[in-house]
Amino acid sequence: MEKKIATFECEVVKRKFELVGQSITANYPQSFPDAAIKVHMDFKKGIDEIRDCKNKQTLISPYMCNDIIATYFACVEVDKLRDIPEGMIGFELPLMDYAKISCSNKTIDQGYSTLFAWMVENGYKQKWYDRSFPIEIFYLKENVEEEKVEILIPIQ
């Protein structure tokens, strides 16, 4: 029996991240998802330059969006922020509570709507950019059409 990738299970997790990556800023929504795909592809070309990378098959994508423009990151988690390659940025996201859902690259829209509905049902409010970002985490696999994605929304 094939394991279902998009489980749509929601939960609260506590996470902190040390990330190294690249970003793109583009008009929103008309430039997305193309801009996100472009920064992921460009980032993968230089991923081997990153020291202390925890897992090159897990792309972590924090983002900021105001419904006019969005800045979207393609990053990997590192053990230590040091020797950041030229053209990349290193930063830490402090320990934070997130509402999390597991979906897939083909069900991201459904993942967001399910997660936001779950947050309302459970009394959680999104924390807006106070030392925080919403995050998409992509678990990359070779030669597959559908990959696991987790969406994390900072909550208060």
The answer, yes or no, to whether residue 1 has pLDDT greater than 60, is no
Residue 3: its pLDDT value, please?
65
17-31: average pLDDT: 97
77 CB neighbour count, 10 Å cutoff? 19
Residue 5: its pLDDT value, please?
86
**Which tokens hold the place of 17?**
């991240």
What is the model's pTM? 0.95
